[in-house]
Amino acid sequence: MATTSALPPLDPLLRRSAKRTRDIFASCPDEGEREDEKSARIRLSVKINDEYRDFKELPAALLSQQGPVGPARPKTNQKAITAGPSADTSRMIAQIDNTPTHQASTFTSSTKLSQALTLHKTTRTIKPTYHAPWKLVRVISGHLGWVRSAAVEPGNQWFATGAGDRVIKIWDLASGELKLSLTGHISTVRGLAVSSRHPYLFSCGEDKMVKCWDLEANKVIRHYHGHLSGVYSLSLHPTLDVLVTAGRDASARVWDMRTKAQIHVLAGHTGTVADVKCQESDPQVITGSMDSTVRLWDLAAGKTMVTLTHHKKSVRALAVHPTEYSFASGSAGGNNIKKWKFPEGTFVHNFSGHNAIINTMSVNAEGVFFSGGDNGTLTLWDYNTGMPFQHMEDVPQPGSLEAEAGVFCSTFDVTGTRLITGGADKTIKVYAEQSQ
């Protein structure tokens, strides 16, 4: 109890402390008090001068491009309307010049703007061409693995397929009978091409090998060494003795067919090059890659001419129209198939409606465009308008899992009346146009 009474009372201490606090902060203006108008004006003008003095005048380069902006200044002979008799007012109004003076556009080139606006307003009114429906006419079995590649011989007598069983099989196109099996690859055969000017068949696979087969002796006569990983696609140049291959090493390689020499390494992609196509006129090589871009290449220089970056996901398939100067590319996701115009790779339109991972695409001279999906969906389109005219499902064959309905490769025969596809159920399916 003695210690408690010895402590000084708290009340005087609190009062003294509050008084000191008030003395300290009394000189500061309250938040609610407004600063006088003059000082606010000065502060604002200083701030404006500090922040905007460098931007009051445009740089000389921009001033030279800039035309007069805004309405024209009134002419000197125009009079302002002042209060007075109504007659004078109406006479003055009648004298005012109403015709606005023509002002030049602030755009550097008005033609560019008008062209862009005209193009924007143009609506596509093309009617789709009628195409007869297609139906499954033959199922060919014989491979022991996924059928990953197919190619038709230019004489239209037979076609070749390559699969996960490492075997290339030659089939009679009319009867579907097996004519020949070629062994030599030690991994999945991913690409095939038959030369139209030599008795050669070219193949490539996940074993990094690119082989040239002599079809008269039915044996390998050349190997093309250089790829650092699996080779996923190959294409023959229609007029030059040149072979282009592409694969998992993110490059496309151009080979001299006869000397086996590597002419170019088409480098630039940052992901697996899933498909490559050749054509006679520039750009002579087109590649589609898992880095979601399509590149058009200058074959003479071995450099990229154009890179198309419209796709959101990996581009797995390309299809070049046999007669029209255009091509299509396919990936996964919405608006996943796009049509392009050569030579600059101008975007034409989307093929909307096939929402799957597109593994393969083919187009014939009549404008029937085929896309095959990883989930076994097949769609046939009118190539000119991008309108689908038939949807089909790839039915897995008995003994296959339901998941084995993917379509991996496709090609039209030379006449364009038969479509050959290869899938995950290890079969080859032949579709044909239904007769009227």
- Residue 343, preceding bond cis, omega within 30 degrees? yes
- Tens of pLDDT along 203-216? 999 999 999 999 99
Average pLDDT over residues 384-403: 87
- Tens of pLDDT along 221-266? 999 999 999 999 999 999 999 999 999 999 999 999 999 999 999 9
Q: Which residue has the tokens 């050959």?
A: 420
Burial (CB < 10 A; 0-12, 13-18, 19+), residue 335, is: middle
- Does domain 134-433 fall under CATH 2.40.33.20? My reply is no
pTM of the predicted model as reported, rounded to 2 decimal places: 0.72
- Tens of pLDDT along 139-158? 999 999 999 999 999 999 99
Angle at 146 between CA 140 and CA 149, to 5 degrees: 80
pLDDT band at 34 (very low <50, low <70, confident <90, very high): low
The C-alpha atoms of residue 96 and residue 98 are separated, in whole angstroms, by 6
Look at residue 100 in the predicted model and tell me its pLDDT. 62
User: For the chain, what is the radius of gyration of the CA atoms?
Assistant: 37
The full set of domain ranges for the chain reads 134-433
Flag the least confident range among 45-54, 204-213, 294-303, 387-396.
Answer: 45-54
Indicate the Cα dihedral angle 344, 283, 333, 191, nearest 10°.
Answer: 180
Instruction: Kindly report the length of the chain.
Output: 436
On the question of pLDDT at 420 being above 80, the answer is yes
Output the CA torsion sign for 412, 418, 423, 426. negative
On the question of pLDDT at 332 being above 80, the answer is yes
On the question of pLDDT at 107 being above 60, the answer is no
Look at residue 58 in the predicted model and tell me its pLDDT. 73
**φ/ψ (deg, to 5) at 105:** -70, 150
On the question of pLDDT at 297 being above 90, the answer is yes
Flag the least confident range among 9-23, 257-271, 280-294.
Answer: 9-23
The C-alpha atoms of residue 420 and residue 414 are separated, in whole angstroms, by 11
The C-alpha atoms of residue 97 and residue 128 are separated, in whole angstroms, by 55
- Tens of pLDDT along 52-75? 777 777 777 777 776 655 555 555
DSSP 29: P
Indicate the Cα dihedral angle 222, 227, 230, 234, nearest 10°.
Answer: -60
